[in-house]
Amino acid sequence: MTGLDFQLALAIGLFVLAAVFAYFVFASFLFGAGYQPTPRRSVETMLRYAEVGPRDTLYDLGAGTGAIVFRAARIYRARVIGVEVEPIRYVILVLRRSFGPFSDRITLRRGNLFRLDLHDATVVTAFLWPGAMARLRPKFESELPPGARVVSHCHRVPGWTAERYDSKTDVYLYRWPDAIAPVTEGGT
Ligand SMILES: C[S@@+](CC[C@H](N)C(=O)[O-])C[C@H]1O[C@@H](n2cnc3c(N)ncnc32)[C@H](O)[C@@H]1O
């Protein structure tokens, strides 16, 4: 291989790497949010606020690489369903599940979260963009069973009243259907 061939191969390699990275981060922008793992402290607030426990069925809408999924299953012992649209992240989720404990508690779905049926959800977690949260609102209202808790990092469910909000970790807790009850003092 000449010096020129090597430079060309290196350039192609770097281009492919950059393309894969850009795809990994930006592809799901089209669906509702790009990729950014929920910070550990926010995950803890979400799971504590929702009082997640072994009797819960938790849906993580846009599961990413599993920051919420694996913590909810391993530490809080919930049955967890994680849905992720982006294939590389989905493969990472499947690999993490295969090599970790409590895999029987974790169901993974590759696809669009807006097509998921939430009728058996007791807890829903989300770290999605405002537009996706707005699209989710009518879905929550028609599918969630009474008493279900929705916890969201960063963005609120528009038009709903939060039961709690933690400004340090930017986490909103909603309880369905109280979230659409007339606003009480202290509601967010
Ligand atoms: C900000 S990340 C949050 C990841 C994860 N929940 C966590 O806590 O680490 C949002 C994730 O939602 C995924 N996503 C965006 N729109 C989606 C859709 N319509 N259906 C399924 N997943 C989606 C993205 O691919 C991305 O991995």
The one-letter amino acid code at 155 reads: H
Q: Indicate the number of domains in the chain.
A: 1
Question: Looking at ligand 1, which residue's alpha carbon is closest to its atom 14?
Answer: 62
CA 138 to chain centre: 18
Say what the pLDDT of residue 14 is. 87
Q: How much is the pLDDT for 117?
A: 97
Q: Using one digit for the tens of pLDDT, what is the confidence trace for 81-137?
A: 999 999 999 999 999 999 988 899 999 999 999 999 999 999 999 999 999 999 999
In a domain, 21, yes or no: no
Element (H, E) at 173: strand 171-175
Q: Is residue 53 part of a domain?
A: yes
pLDDT at site 151 = 98
In this predicted model, what pLDDT tens digit does every residue of 79-96 receive, in sequence order?
999 999 999 999 999 999
For residue 167, give its domain range.
Answer: 40-180
| Residue located nearest, by CA, to atom 8 of ligand 1 | 38
The model's confidence at residue 24, banded by pLDDT at 50, 70 and 90, is: low
65: Cβ–Cβ under 8 A, 6 or more apart, which residues?
35, 37, 89, 92, 93, 96
The best mutation among 35, 110, 154 to test binding of ligand 1, ranked by most ligand atoms within 8 Å of the C-beta, falls on 35
Percent of the chain with pLDDT over 70: 90
Task: Name the token pair of 85.
Answer: 């649209």
- 43: closest CA among 28, 21, 65? 65
The neighbour count for residue 22, using CB atoms within 10 Å, is 10
Q: Tell me the three state secondary structure of residue 18.
A: helix
CATH number of the CATH domain containing 65:
3.40.50.150
Rounded Cα distance between 43 and 151, Å, is 10
C-alpha–C-alpha distance, residues 166 and 78, integer Å: 23
Query: What CA–CA distance (Å, rounded) separates 96 from 75?
Result: 15
Say what the pLDDT of residue 34 is: 77
With a CB cutoff of 8 Å and minimum separation 6, the contacts of 129 are 32, 33, 155
36, pLDDT greater than 70: yes
